[in-house]
Amino acid sequence: MGKCPYCQKSAGIFKKLHKECEVKYNNGKELIKKKSNSFFDKSEIVEIEELEKIADESFIPYDEFEDIMESTFTDNLLNFLDDGTLDDKEEDSLGEYMEHFKLTQEQLNENDSLSKMIRASILRKLLNGEQSTSRMKIEGNLPFKFQKSEELIWLFQNVELFEQRIKTTYKGGSDGVSIRIAKGIYYRTSSFRGHPVKTTNIVPIANGMVAITNKHIYFSSGIKNFRINYNKIITLEPYSDGIGITKDGVTAKPQVFKNVDGWFCYNFIKNISE
C-alpha cells in the first residue's frame, strides 16, 4: 500500500498517489505562478497570505512555494532584459514585488536571481556613464591586492579556471559576431541560456575566486593568482556559464572562467574598456 506523496495519506492498494491530489498540486502551482505574476501586469494584486494558503491547500511544500515566487521574479527580470537593459522603472517594479510579497534577499537569491538584477543595474549605470560602485557586502578579507582607486564591482566564488589548448577547433576572435542591442549591450540574456562552456580541449587548472573591478579581472586560488588588465584583452568569448579571455602576447593561452555570469562579464568588460 503506497502513501500519497501529496496528502501523506494511504493511496490505496496498488496505488502510489491520489490522482486528485496530484491535480490539486499542479493546479495550485499554476495558480500561484499566475497570481504572483499578476503583480507585474497589474491585473490583480494579491497578498502573500493568499498565495501561502493556496500552497497549503495544494500540498505544495514551502521551499517549492519560494521557488515559484523566485521564478516569477526571474521571468520578469529576463523579460525586462530582452531589450538588453534594465531601466530604472523596471528595477523599481522588481523591488516592489520583493517588498509586496515580503520576500527576503536569501529567498530571492536562491538561484542567483537578485544578484542577476543587481548586475543588470550595474551595467545600466556603466552605460549611463555613472560612477561604478560596488554593491557587494564582503565579509572577511579578500585575497586580492587592488590598486588605489580600484573598485571591486563583483565577486564570483567557486570559479573553475581552464586553459584552452590551441587545436584546430579553437576559433580565435569569435566575438566578432557580437551585435549591439541597446546602448552598448552586445548580447541579450536569452542568447546565454542553455549554452554551457564545453570542456573539450580545455584543461582544468584551478578552482578559485574571480573579482571584477573597474580595471582588471582577478583570479585567485591556492595555486594560481593573476590579474588581467581590460586593455590587454584581445578576445572575449561569452558563454552562459562562463567567459573566455585571450590577452595580448604571443604565448598567451585562451583562459576560460567557468561559473561566472557570462552575460554580465562580457558586457561589463566590453563597455568599461572602451
228's grid cell: 588581467
Among 7, 181, 233, 252, binds Zn ion (CB under 5 A): 7
Nearer to Zn ion, 21 or 269 (CB): 21
Cα(33)–Cα(20) distance, integer angstroms: 20
Q: Of the ranges 1-9, 42-50, 133-141, 261-269, which one interacts with Zn ion (CB under 5 A)?
A: 1-9
Taking the C-alpha atoms of residue 232 and residue 246, their distance in angstroms, rounded to an integer, is 9
| For Zn ion, the closer CB: 25 or 97 | 25
With CB under 5 A as the contact rule, the residue among 4, 77, 202, 210 that binds Zn ion is: 4
Size of the site for Zn ion (CB under 5 A): 5
Instruction: By CB under 5 A, name the one of 6, 25, 65, 257 that touches Zn ion.
Output: 6
270 binds Zn ion (CB under 5 A): no
Decide: 70 and 33 in contact? Cβ < 8 Å: no
Distances (CA, A) of 80 to 66, 119, 149, 260: 21, 14, 33, 21
Cα 58 to chain centroid, rounded:
30
Q: Residue 52: which residues within 8 A CB-CB, separation 6 or more?
A: 65
60 scored as a contact of Zn ion (CB under 5 A) = no
Question: Measuring CA to CA, which residue among 196, 223, 226, 218 is closest to residue 207?
Answer: 223
Q: Which is nearer to Zn ion, 7 or 252 (CB)?
A: 7
Q: Which 13-52 positions form the footprint of Zn ion (CB under 5 A)?
A: 18, 21
Find the shortest distance in angstroms from Cβ 32 to Zn ion.
Answer: 19
Nearer Cβ to Zn ion, position 64 or 241?
Answer: 64
Helix, strand, or coil (residue 133): coil
Q: How far is the CB of 22 from Zn ion (least distance, A)?
A: 8
Binding region for Zn ion (CB under 5 A) out of 3-11, 61-69, 114-122, 249-257: 3-11
Q: Whose Cβ is closer to Zn ion: residue 6's or residue 268's?
A: 6
Q: Which is nearer to Zn ion, 3 or 224 (CB)?
A: 3
CB atoms within 10 A of CB 255: 20
Q: Which stretches of 8-60 are DSSP H helices?
A: 19-41, 48-57
Q: Which residues bind Zn ion (CB under 5 A)?
A: 4, 6-7, 18, 21
